């Protein structure tokens, strides 16, 4: 395997890891007002992702940085084309991060409600925008022979990109609901399980649509073009069946597989390109044509081989340390009003 191909695979791994890990954070952010009817319950939902969300978000930064270092031409064309969308994405991520920190600063119902809605909207907008951007890579954008984007903002909103964005958003909601049913107790857990059971079937329908459409956009063959989307459908179906059987742990693994295989399908179908031109096939950007020099890729490979296992081990350790459920009020306790969430191991250093 050549170094450009290796780094294309690493970048695919990083973006897949981002959605698998940050996906349930997005889902919890979208759902925390649905599964939490009081401020205490909403804080229980937020505390469930408190130890994880900022570490999971680093995968997005590393994924973008890896493209910048390994494929500078790809980075320049893609991020320039999606400049306004990137600004919207950054605004959503910033608003989401700020909401974690600001929500508990004042003991005010209006204050809590404002930042809860900020968290909900930011958590929904981020996977939708990223999904559209990833879908655009495969379906193609107007790119000239000089590797410059020649379209407008509205050309970014391709039907396939919108389908992928919506699919990833719904999968994130399913992923987050399953995570909450696995990580919380009491009323929040029961409502999260009910939401997961209901959203599973629309998620399957969207993944099926994605699986039917994706192979038609590339000539990747059966192994790369058909197998990953089909496996994504099977994983989403398995998640629904496991939820029906009340097997929350395996169901969470299945939702992780479904969202991961959906992202893998994009990169598998995209290779040997990194960005398809809808103007002319000759203007499409390729893995080898946009890669950095051999020396730069060698240095990056050594760094990745040293640091990536450390990062994976550290994140795995974090999940082990904070493996206990976050306690919440029972279903009969519907007392409203802001009050401290029950103590849990996840509360240490977690924003309210």
pLDDT at 90 over 80: yes
Q: Would residue 315 count as lying in a domain? A: no
Q: Would residue 309 count as lying in a domain? A: no
The structure's pTM equals 0.89
Phi, psi torsion values for 112, nearest 5 degrees = -60, -40
Q: Would residue 122 count as lying in a domain? A: yes
Q: How many domains does the chain have?
A: 1
Burial of 342 (0-12, 13-18, 19+ CB in 10 A): middle
Distance separating alpha carbons of residues 200 and 236, to the nearest angstrom: 7
pLDDT digits (tens, 9 = 90+) for 134-150: 999 999 999 999 999 99
Domain CATH number, residue 152: 1.20.1630
> In whole numbers, what is the pLDDT of the chain averaged over residues?
89
Give the pLDDT band of residue 106 (cuts 50, 70, 90): confident
Name which residue leads in pLDDT, 163 or 105.
Answer: 163
Q: Would residue 321 count as lying in a domain? A: no
| Strand extents, DSSP E, the chain | 273-275, 285-286
Range of the domain at 9: 3-291
SS3 of 273-288: the string is EEECECCCHHHCEECC
pLDDT at 338 over 50: no
pLDDT for res 331: 53
Structure tokens at 113: 């409600």
Give the pLDDT band of residue 330 (cuts 50, 70, 90): low
DSSP codes joined into one string, 75-95? HHHHHHHTHHHHHHHHHHHHH
pLDDT digits (tens, 9 = 90+) for 112-134: 899 999 999 999 999 999 999 99
pLDDT digits (tens, 9 = 90+) for 10-34: 999 999 999 999 999 999 999 999 9
């Amino acid at each position: 395997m050549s170094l450009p191909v290796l780094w294309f695979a690493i970048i695919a791994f990083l973006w897949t890891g981002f959605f698998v890990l940050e996906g349930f954070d997005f889902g919890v952010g979208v759902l925390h007002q649905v599964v939490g009817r009081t401020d205490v319950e909403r804080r229980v939902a937020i505390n469930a992702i408190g130890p994880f969300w900022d570490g999971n978000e680093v995968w997005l930064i590393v994924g973008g940085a890896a493209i910048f270092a390994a494929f500078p031409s790809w980075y320049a064309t893609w991020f320039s084309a999606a400049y306004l969308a990137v600004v919207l994405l950054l605004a959503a991520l910033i608003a989401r991060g700020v909401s974690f920190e600001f929500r508990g600063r004042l003991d005010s119902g209006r204050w809590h409600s404002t930042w809860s809605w900020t968290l909900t909207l930011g958590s929904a907008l981020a996977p939708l925008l990223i999904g559209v951007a990833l879908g655009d890579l495969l379906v193609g954008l107007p790119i000239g022979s000089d590797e410059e984007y020649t379209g407008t903002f509205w050309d970014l909103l391709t039907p396939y990109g919108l389908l992928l964005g919506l699919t990833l958003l719904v999968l994130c909601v399913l992923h987050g609901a399953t995570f909450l049913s696995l990580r919380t107790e009491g009323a929040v857990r029961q409502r999260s399980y009910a939401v997961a059971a209901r959203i599973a079937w629309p998620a399957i329908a969207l993944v099926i649509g994605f699986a039917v459409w994706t192979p038609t956009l590339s000539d990747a063959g059966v192994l790369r073009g058909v197998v990953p989307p089909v496996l994504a459908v099977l994983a989403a179906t398995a998640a629904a069946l496991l939820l029906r059987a009340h097997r929350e742990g395996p169901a969470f693994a299945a939702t992780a597989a479904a969202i991961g295989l959906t992202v893998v399908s994009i990169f598998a179908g995209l290779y040997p390109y990194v960005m398809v031109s809808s103007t002319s096939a000759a203007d499409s950007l390729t893995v080898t044509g946009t890669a950095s020099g051999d020396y730069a890729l060698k240095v990056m490979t050594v760094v990745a081989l040293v640091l990536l296992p450390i990062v994976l081990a550290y994140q795995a350790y974090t999940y082990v340390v904070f493996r206990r459920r976050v306690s919440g009020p029972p279903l009969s306790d519907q007392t409203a009003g802001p009050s401290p969430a029950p103590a849990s191991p996840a509360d240490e250093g977690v924003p309210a």
